[in-house]
Amino acid sequence: VQKWIEDLSRRFPGLVIKPGEPMARHTTFRTGGPADCLVLPATRDDFTGVCDFCRNEKVPLFVIGGGSNLLVSDRGIRGVTLSTAGLDRFSIEGNTVFLGAGAVISDAALETAKRGLEGLHVFHGMPGSVGGAVYMNARCYGAEIADMFTAADLYAGGRLERAVYRPEEWDYKRSPFQKGGVILEAVFTLNGGDAAVLTAEAESHRRDREEKGHYRAPCAGSVFKNNRNFGEPSGVIIDRCGLKGLSSGGAMVSSWHANIIVNGGGATSSDIMNLIRAVRSRVFEQTGFDLEPEIIPAGDWEGYDVAGA
């Protein structure tokens, strides 16, 4: 590890490299052990250069955006953990918006609303980056990223590609980027609208989240996907099984929303993983529905029975 960290700093002077960085500082659950090395490039060239370095040197690479949908192992992440935070371009040409993968989706949502552009505004208040939202095909308030996504610059296999929107590649919580590659930038086509109305709507969505307790304790939003075949949202099913308040170590099914697990203070990622598995099996026993986790386990979970991975 020490050797390739030295190689990286020699090849990319000025690159911010944090060996042994605790990932709890970079996830919304506020859990997760040390990354061998967290790398924060400030330029696109350095970013793709680090990707090339990892490919050539066979160093494992994990890309992190806002860390708001991740459960990072208490043992941390091996290899390079590459942050997109420095890729924060924001530019608008007519109804077309160009957003760097590391741009904060909530800020972009509010800014486009203020400029009288409709579509992304629903994401105001949702944590995370543009790249993470595209990767996850994030959705809320009746809209999803696929509705407005036009194209992305993707870095895959040492090459820059332009990935254009193809409807058959998108579905509920599914995007083509889950097959591989790193999103550098995304392009969205939005509709024109009334800036004052859209801004008020964006702000009311953020308030709604606040009232629903999204920001009350460290969490990663919904733990389980909704499944139309189950007839009701996962949160309603979990609640009916009487699991609000169920806990494992410092992790607890929140009392205000049954599909949100919170770090009630001092939780480890293992506590959260154990609780996800407990909820999943209790719901299965009581209803026969097998809930599918939405949260992504990341890092070194070897030897661990990872729910949904």
Ligand X SMILES: Cc1cc2nc3c(=O)[nH]c(=O)nc-3n(C[C@H](O)[C@H](O)[C@H](O)COP(=O)(O)OP(=O)(O)OC[C@H]3O[C@@H](n4cnc5c(N)ncnc54)[C@H](O)[C@@H]3O)c2cc1C
Q: Which parts of this chain interact with ligand X (CB under 6 A)?
A: 28, 63-70, 84, 101, 126-129, 131-133, 135-136, 138-140, 177, 182-183, 214, 219-221, 296
Distance of CA 152 to the CA centre of its chain: 17
Instruction: Report, in this order, helix, strand and coil percent for the chain, each rounded to 5.
Output: 35, 25, 40
Q: Which residues are catalytic?
A: 222, 294
- Distance in angstroms (rounded) separating the CA atoms of residues 102 and 132: 8
Tokens, residue 24: 């709890």
| Nearest distance, CB of residue 269 and ligand X, angstroms | 13
User: Strand 143-144 to strand 251-253: parallel, antiparallel, or no bridges (unpaired)?
Assistant: unpaired
| Nearest distance, CB of residue 104 and ligand X, angstroms | 9
| Nearest distance, CB of residue 294 and ligand X, angstroms | 8
Residue 207 or 284: the one with the smaller Cβ distance to ligand X is 207
Residue 138 or 251: the one with the smaller Cβ distance to ligand X is 138
Q: What phi and psi, each to the nearest 5 degrees, are found at residue 191?
A: -90, 155
Residue 195 or 296: the one with the smaller Cβ distance to ligand X is 296
Residue 86 or 131: the one with the smaller Cβ distance to ligand X is 131
Q: With CA atoms as reference, report the closest residue to 28 among 215, 277, 203, 210.
A: 215
| Nearest distance, CB of residue 170 and ligand X, angstroms | 13
Query: What torsion, rounded to 10 degrees, do the Cα atoms 279, 283, 284, 290 define?
Result: -80
| Nearest distance, CB of residue 285 and ligand X, angstroms | 27
Secondary element (H or E) of residue 3 = helix 2-11
Q: With CA atoms as reference, report the closest residue to 266 among 96, 20, 29, 73.
A: 29
Residue 163 or 237: the one with the smaller Cβ distance to ligand X is 163
